[in-house]
Structure 1
Amino acid sequence: MEVHRSLPQRALPMVGAWCFLDRFGPQTARMRVEPHPHIGLHTVPWPLVGEVRPLDGGPDAGGATATVVVGDFAGARSPATMHTPIVGAEIHVPAGSRVRLPLDPVREYALVGVAGVPEVHTAPDAATALPDQGLLYLGIHRDGVEVSAQRETTLFLIGGEPFESDIVMWWNFVGRSHDEIVAARDAWESEADDTGTPSARFGHVIGHACERVPAPPLPAVRLTPRRRTV
């Protein structure tokens, strides 16, 4: 299975509290991922292909239609639980239109291309084409951004209040320090056995016995926080 990772990037490790952004599929083969550990993060899976039936209509975002996956956008709020102010929304822009997406100036945002090649008007005299799977960082202090589309277009908006704390990311672990990552890896590996006994720290995945994804070796250097340069 091929996975395209938009975040983290060397110059942009996070957007708000979003620290990983992966896209995969569609595919015909069945995907099977064995139990593996996470610390310091919640996963937010969202089907871009297929159908999701919301209980209420999506908000009208200046002519576009949005499905709010997490957080709030354009007056609509997702029922999903979150522990930091973030937003994730799938946005559909009609063909031949130019729409304005409302933004919160205290948050930073990025747009990810899903289908179509829209132009994002980051300034009155500046427009950037956003290709499929491309990520465009919009920064902070914006109250909106305009998007024009020659054909029907789908985007994904992520954003949130800038995450000020240093974090260390390695494999599936997000921590505050090298030592926290080492402790999590040691806990996962020390609980590996062939009996199917539930992990004391990481729990048990129903339907799996002793299958698990082993942790890769740690690098021979001390892990350091990722800091943005944009």
Structure 2
Amino acid sequence: MEVHRSLPQRALPMVGAWCFLDRFGPQTARMRVEPHPHIGLHTVPWPLVGEVRPLDGGPDAGGATATVVVGDFAGARSPATMHTPIVGAEIHVPAGSRVRLPLDPVREYALVGVAGVPEVHTAPDAATALPDQGLLYLGIHRDGVEVSAQRETTLFLLGGEPFESDIVMWWNFVGRSHDEIVAAREAWESEADDTERADARFGHVIGHDRERVPAPPLPAVRLTPRRRTV
């Protein structure tokens, strides 16, 4: 299965509280992922193709429509529980359209190309083509951005209030320090032979026996927080 990771990047580790962004597929066979641990994050799977349960749709804007996956956008709100101001929305722009996406100036945003090659008008005299799987960081202090599409286009909007705390990211773990990551790895590895013990941190995944993804070795250096340079 092919996986393309757009976040984190060396210069841009996060957008709001979004710290990982993976796109996988197309996948024709049934996907099976063995049990693996997470700390410090929630996963938000969203099928771009296939049968999905629709959420709130945004208002019409030049024929464009938006499905709010998490958070709120353009007056629509997802029922998903979030613990920080955040937004994730799938946006469809009809061919030959130019639409304005309303933004909250206190949040930072990024657009991710899904299908089509739209132009994102970041300034009155500046436009940037957004290729499939490309990520365009829009920054903060914007009340909107315009997108034009020569053919039918799909985008994904990520956003949220800038995450000010230092975080350490390694494998599937997001923590506040190197020591927190080390403790989580040790807990995962220690449960390899007994996931149902009373003090198990990660527990047992129903439908799996002893299959699991082992943790990779830690690097020989101390893990440090990732900080943006853009």
Indicate the TM-score class for this superposition, using the shorter chain for normalisation: over 0.9
- Secondary structure at the counterpart of residue 157 of structure 1: strand
Per-residue deviation at 1:192? 1.1
1:209 deviates by 1.3
| Cα gap change, 1:120 to 1:167, in 2 (>3 Å) | same
State the TM-score, normalizing by the size of structure 1: 0.96
TM-fit CA distance, 1:98: 0.3
Residue 55 of structure 1: how far off its partner (Å): 6.0
Q: Quick one: distance in 1 between partners of 2:34 and 2:74? A: 38
CA contact (8 A) 1:60 1:74 kept: no
Displacement of 1:107 after TM fit?
0.1
Q: Deviations over 1:42-93 (max 9, x none)?
A: 0000000113242654432454100000000000000001111100000000
Change (3 A) 1:135 1:64: same
1:26 Cα deviation from its structure 2 partner: 1.6
**Offset from partner CA, 1:167-212 (integer Å, 9 cap, x none):** 0000000000000000000011111116865871012111011111
Provide the secondary structure at the position in 1 that maps to 2:187. helix
- Matched-pair contact (CA < 8 Å) for 1:195–1:209: no
RMSD: 1.5
CA separation of 1:124/1:65 partners in 2, compared to 1, >3 Å: closer, same or farther?
same
Structure 1 CA distance, aligned partners of 2:55 and 2:218?
A: 45
Q: Counterpart of 1:61 in 2: which secondary structure?
A: coil
Q: In structure 1, what is the Cα distance between the partners aligned to 2:14 and 2:195? A: 38
TM-score (norm 2): 0.96
- Equivalent pair of 2:55/2:67 in contact (CA under 8 Å): no
- Distance, in Å, in 2 between the alignment partners of 1:149 and 1:20 is 27
Change (3 A) 1:143 1:58: closer
Secondary structure (helix, strand or coil) at the match of 2:179 reads helix
Q: Is the 8 A contact 1:198 1:204 kept in 2?
A: no
Give unmatched runs, 5+ long, in structure 2. Answer: none
Q: Distance in 2 between matches of 1:183 and 1:35?
A: 18
Residues of 2 paired with 1:55 and 1:86: CA distance?
16
- Change in CA separation of 1:4 and 1:106 when aligned onto 2, cut-off 3 Å: same
Verify the 8 A CA contact 1:70 1:88 in the aligned structure 2.
yes
**Residue-pair matches, total:** 230
Query: Which deviates further from its counterpart, 44-53 or 153-162?
Result: 44-53
Counterparts of 1:113 and 1:192 in 2: how far apart (Å)? Answer: 39
8 Å CA contact 1:39–1:172 kept in 2: the answer is: yes
Identity of aligned residues (%): 97
Q: Partners of 1:55 and 1:219 in 2: how far apart?
A: 41
Indicate whether 1:36 and 2:36 are aligned. yes
Aligned to 1:126: 126
Equivalent residues of 2:195, 2:204 under 8 A apart = no
Mean CA deviation greater in 22-31 or 187-196 = 187-196
Q: Tell me, yes or no, if structure 1 residue 215 matches structure 2 residue 198.
A: no
Contact kept in structure 2, 1:86 and 1:160, CA below 8 Å = yes
